[in-house]
Amino acid sequence: MANKTIGIFSGTYAGTSGAKMLLKSPVTGAVMNTSGGDELTEVSAGFFTCTVSQAISGWFAVVVIDSANGLLIEGGWVSIPSDAAGLYVVDDPTAQTGVGYGPRTVLITVTDGTDGLPGSVVTLSRGGLSRTVVAGTGGVARFNVTDGDWDVAIESAGYDFSGAVLTVAGNTTQTYPLDPITISPSSPGFVTGYWVVRSVNGTPYAGVAVLVRAVRPVAGSTGTIHAGENRTATSDANGIASFTNLIPGWLYRVTIDGVVSAEVAIAPNATGTVSLGSAVLPTV
* DSSP per-residue letters across 127-139: TTEEEEEE--GGG
Report pLDDT for 124.
87
> Which CATH architecture fits 4-91?
Sandwich (2.60)
- Tell me the mean pLDDT in the region 274-280: 78
**CATH class for the region spanning 104-180:** mainly beta
> What pLDDT, on the 0 to 100 scale, is given for residue 95?
47
The per-residue pLDDT for range 44-68, each reduced to its tens digit, is: 767 788 888 888 888 788 888 887 6
Residue 257's pLDDT is 63
Q: What confidence category does residue 41 fall into, taking pLDDT thresholds of 50, 70 and 90?
A: confident
pLDDT at 77 over 80: no
pLDDT-based confidence at 81, cuts 50/70/90? confident
Do 100 and 143 meet the contact criterion of CB atoms below 8 Å apart? no
**What pLDDT, on the 0 to 100 scale, is given for residue 74?**
67
**What per-residue confidence (pLDDT) applies to 91?**
56
Predicted pLDDT at 103: 65
Sign of CA dihedral 64, 70, 72, 74: positive
Distance of alpha carbon 279 from the chain centroid: 17
Instruction: Let me know if domain 191-275 sits in CATH 2.60.40.10.
Output: yes
pTM of the model: 0.47
Domain boundaries, the chain: 4-91, 104-180, 191-275
How far apart are alpha carbons 66 and 146 in whole angstroms? Answer: 27
Distant-in-sequence, close-in-space partners of 227: CB < 8 Å, separation ≥ 6: 214
Fold: same for 4-91 and 191-275? yes
